[in-house]
Amino acid sequence: MKKGWLSVIIPAYNPEEKWLGKMLDSLTAQKAEYPNVDIIVIDDGSKNDVEWLKEYQGIKYKRKRNGGDASARNAGLNLAKGEYITFIDCDDEIADNYLAIIFENMRDGYDWVSYDWSCDGHKEWAYQNFNILKVNCAVWAYSFRAEFIGGNRFDESLKSASDQKLLDAILRDDCKHKHDHRVIINYRWAGNVNSLTHRKARGEFTT
């Protein structure tokens, strides 16, 4: 484990260069101020041309056989060496102070922190639960201490909502945690035909 390091796990299936590239550009630019960041991109057997990812500077790239989002996130966890862990979906956007916010919280000794997020730029569209133990149902709206996650992994039998199942299993009140109301992620919905929610709506899978 790398003390004081953050591992950012990004599962990618048929990613669009204009979106994932933009996000990686933002991450690598923020790394100039926060160099202790391990960016891990797991290519989950993409059918699209992702050769550009292999040459991308400042990231760890691993291709695997297609197994779904849960499988890709587990592969990322198995490669992660950071003391802290967070996740990003390959088609979403991050705040310009994304790394600053996460490091600020995790360096304060929290086991996990949840964050506000927006949907297509609208914070009011983003669902937030009033339950402090599960304010959000998406794992990308959290940061964790790696030891807190431990050996827990995503259920690879689920094609969707595996992050909700993991969160139900690990989020506890008997540890140091908080909710940060700053927005760190913008979820892209409109026109994002490759998102899990769009693919599920098309009937590509049911679980």
pLDDT tens readout for residues 8-36: 999 999 999 999 999 999 999 999 999 99
Task: Report whether pLDDT(103) > 50.
Answer: yes
H-helix or E-strand containing 179?
strand 177-187
Integer Cα distance of 33 and 104 in angstroms: 13
Domains delineated in the chain: 2-201 (3.90.550.10)
Q: What are phi and psi of 83, to 5 degrees?
A: -70, -25
Q: What are phi and psi of 93, to 5 degrees?
A: -115, 150
Provide the mean pLDDT of the chain. Answer: 88
pLDDT at residue number 78: 97
| Structure tokens belonging to residue 10 | 């990004």
pLDDT at residue number 159: 79
Sequence-ordered list of residues with C-beta below 8 angstroms from that of 12, at least 6 positions apart, any chain:
20, 41, 42, 43, 44, 46, 50, 53, 72, 90
0.85 exceeded by pTM: yes
Task: Read off the pLDDT of residues 32-67 as tens digits, 9 standing for 90 and up.
Answer: 999 999 999 999 999 988 989 988 888 999 999 999
Sequence-ordered list of residues with C-beta below 8 angstroms from that of 124, at least 6 positions apart, any chain:
none
pLDDT at residue number 127: 66
If you write DSSP's letter for every residue of 54-117 in order, what string do you get? HT-TT-EEEEE----HHHHHHHHHHH--EEEEEE--TT-EE-TTHHHHHHHHHTTT-SEEEEEE
Integer Cα distance of 52 and 192 in angstroms: 21
